Amino acid sequence: MSLSHACPSAFRKSRWLLSSVAFLSLLIATVFPSSATAQQTNSDVVAEDVSEEERKIEAPDRVEVDPLAEDEDISDRLERIFLATGWFESMEVVTDEGVVFMEGVADSEKQREWAERVAQRTSDVVAVVNRIEVRSRPIWDVSPAVAQLQQLGRDFIQLLPLLMVGAFVSLLAYALARASASTARRVAGKRIDSQLLQQVISSVVAVLVMLIGLYIALKVSGLSRLAVTVLGGTGLIGIALGFAFRDIAENYLASVLISLNRPFNVGDLIELDRYKGFVRRVTTRGTLLLTPEGNHIQIPNSTIYKSVVTNYSSSPRIRKDFVVGIGFEDSVSAAQEIIHKTLVSHPSVLDDPEPLVLVDSLGSATVNLKAYFWLDAERFSAGAVSSALMRQAKAALTDAQISMPDEAREVVFPNGVPVAMINRQPGSTADHESTSEHPGEKPVPAKNVARDLESVSKGEGNLKNSDDKIQLHAKEDIFDDSENLIG
């Protein structure tokens, strides 16, 4: 026998009660829509400020009461639950025909929703009318900030042991990075001659080891996100620094290429653009030159690598030349033989390649002869040798009565030049001088000609190359202690 047949009146009464409760709930929702909307708006505003602890509040799936519980029992049970949490003030729960009416004040919207879920999951509850209000926060309420600071303090204290372990791992990584850099440099030194490449390889190895150690230290310290950020941001930082320090990076790369190609060595005399000097050192910043005047010039490596460099010390044999002008009435062949003999007889002039004396041009008053000769620049000074050869050539031409006039000049006298005849005695000095082969030229004493024919004079020193002495005197003036990359 079913329950409906056994107690037909009771069954009809229960069905009537359920219908009444459903109708009452629908009526409440229809009459008070603005209240529900206001509660929802308040929920959206307050939900933004809830803490992480409140987000984790969960209601039980079901709150059991004795079967066929009375309304008073449901109300008492819910009030005791809400009182036990300590989240609500002035909490009042009224149950009428299975419909629970809740009134009171909650600290947050999450707590209000939790109370509603608890009531809904209570047995024999047909509907829930939630009238709990959320306490409004004061405008100058700093309690959330204080709570966050307290939480940060607690987290930091808990993190201190891990930070100590991470610091130890970082120190260990630093020591391993230095040791690995030293080992890499020794290994690279056996296979690579460039000191700069050795330095680059050791630096790369050290940076890799340090990055791995830093990642492990951050992971041990519980900073996994920061560790990923460090590794991921390394490439971005490198790109940013590359743009910011483009010139520095360009000079550094140029120093690597100079160290590899070796266009010059320390002590070489080079010239680029308007700079000329001896190479003192090449660093990652630039190249230091010592000018023949004794001045130091620091030139960026990028400028040197992109410029045309003339290395005067790359080959010991160099060619020099000078020009001599003789008169049109003199024999060109005779002058060539005299100058050629002077070049061949000088001890600093090389026999191979052989010296040459060629007609260079025809001037307005002279035939210009150009003498070419080769010398060993490592042993002799090019300037001093050129001076000695020009001196000897001039003396030899003078001794051979070959004139070396200057350029023709035209002098105009607008008012004319008065001329007066002077009577002279026969055999006078004036007559003797007028009979000279080259009137107007002052005769050169034979003693001076003999001295000019000497291969070395005091003014020219001993004709030796003095580049080493110049660099030796300037060696003590170098204050840059950077490592020389082409030493």
pLDDT(302) > 80: yes
List all residues 6 or more positions away from 159 whose beta carbon is below 8 Å from its beta carbon: 221, 222
Task: Report which residue type is found at 234.
Answer: T
User: CA separation (Å) from 93 to 87, 306, 448?
Assistant: 15, 89, 136
How far is it, in rounded angstroms, from Cα 63 to Cα 59? 10
What is the per-residue pLDDT for 322? Answer: 94
How far is it, in rounded angstroms, from Cα 339 to Cα 98? 135
pLDDT one-digit tens code per residue, 356-388: 999 999 988 899 999 999 998 888 888 889 999
Q: What percent of the chain has pLDDT over 70?
A: 65
| Domain boundaries, given as residue ranges, for the chain | 1-31, 32-134, 143-244
pLDDT one-digit tens code per residue, 219-270: 887 777 766 666 565 555 666 666 656 777 787 788 888 887 888 888 888 9
pLDDT(333) > 90: yes
* Dihedral class, residue 310 (left if φ above 0, else alpha if ψ from -120 to 50, else beta): beta
What is the per-residue pLDDT for 390? Answer: 93
| Nearest alpha carbon to residue 209 among 241, 233, 181 | 181
pLDDT one-digit tens code per residue, 203-227: 888 888 988 888 888 888 777 776 6
| Nearest alpha carbon to residue 372 among 410, 398, 336, 407 | 336
Compute the average pLDDT of residues 270-286: 85
| Nearest alpha carbon to residue 201 among 265, 142, 259 | 259
What is the per-residue pLDDT for 275? Answer: 87
Which range is most confident: 150-164, 179-193, 341-355, 399-413? Answer: 341-355
pLDDT(478) > 70: no
pLDDT(311) > 80: yes
pLDDT(323) > 50: yes
What is the per-residue pLDDT for 199? Answer: 78
Question: What is the average pLDDT score of the chain?
Answer: 76
CATH of domain 143-244: 1.10.287
What is the per-residue pLDDT for 445? Answer: 60
pLDDT(30) > 50: no
What is the per-residue pLDDT for 176? Answer: 92
User: CA separation (Å) from 386 to 361, 394, 445?
Assistant: 20, 12, 24
What is the per-residue pLDDT for 2? Answer: 38
What is the per-residue pLDDT for 239? Answer: 63
| Nearest alpha carbon to residue 166 among 137, 174, 338, 255 | 174
| Nearest alpha carbon to residue 343 among 376, 302, 385 | 385
Report yes or no: 391 and 452 within 8 Å, Cβ to Cβ: yes
Give the number of other Cβ atoms within 10 Å of residue 313's Cβ: 17
What is the per-residue pLDDT for 4? Answer: 40
pLDDT one-digit tens code per residue, 417-452: 677 666 655 554 444 444 444 444 555 566 566 666
Compute the average pLDDT of residues 172-201: 84
What is the per-residue pLDDT for 6? Answer: 40
